[in-house]
Chain A
Amino acid sequence: NAGVTQTPKFQVLKTGQSMTLQCAQDMNHEYMSWYRQDPGMGLRLIHYSVGAGITDQGEVPNGYNVSRSTTEDFPLRLLSAAPSQTSVYFCASKAALTDTQYFGPGTRLTVL
């Protein structure tokens, strides 16, 4: 099993550009989440999904869009990048009725 994979590892964008961060898991987990990690802030939940076709907002959803068309994939879209979205983004997955979230290796995003 590859676990949770994320692409790209690094990305530099200009203000106003859009892009999609990819996340995939091969563990057949129902739950998937996107977090951002900023210095001194810990991990903050952006969006999450409890199954294919079901998504909901987390703590900091503004400026981000998600969809879940399959169990395996949970892409995060930045609609119009802003410098405030410079961060490290982590995707995580979890099986229903369990506690352990498995995190991907992260995507480091810089918005100029």
Chain B
Amino acid sequence: QKEVEQDPGPLSVPEGAIVSLNCTYSNSAFQYFMWYRQYSRKGPELLMYTYSSGNKEDGRFTAQVDKSSKYISLFIRDSQPSDSATYLCAMGRVEYGNKLVFGAGTILRVKS
């Protein structure tokens, strides 16, 4: 079993839709949780990160963490064609520095 599971999609939605991207994990020792966005043939870029359970909002993006269920989500409101990308969840432990465990990534396409 992988430490981090992520539905690879692809997910196709119309412009303006609310998008929900999800990851589950098995290692309860993970302390921080990240979402990366990766455009085609580019390197990943950090979108959001959080240390605690609950919601964190940044513009149209909301990251949600439920440590008791080992489940994280990224919500995108009012989705735009420019949001079309692969979204990767990643998790780590403070004492392991920059060693992140990534999900497989979900391909999102927002149709105009």
Q: Spell out A's residues near B (CB within 8 Å).
A: 4, 31, 33, 35, 40-45, 48, 50, 58, 90, 92, 94, 99-101, 103-106
Complex alpha-carbon distance, A44 and B105, angstroms: 12
Supposing A42-B88, A99-B49 touch, asked if A48 and B43 sit within 8 A by C-beta, the answer is: no
Supposing A103-B43, A105-B42, A105-B43 touch, asked if A58 and B99 sit within 8 A by C-beta, the answer is: yes
Q: Which of B43, B99, B103, B104 has the most CB of A within 10 A?
A: B43
Question: Interface code B18-44, partner A: CB below 8 Å = 1, 0 otherwise?
Answer: 000000000000001010000001111
Are B97 and A31 within 8 A (Cβ)? yes
B4 at the A/B interface (Cβ < 8 Å)? yes
A40: which of B8, B44, B100 is its contact (CB, 8 Å)?
B8
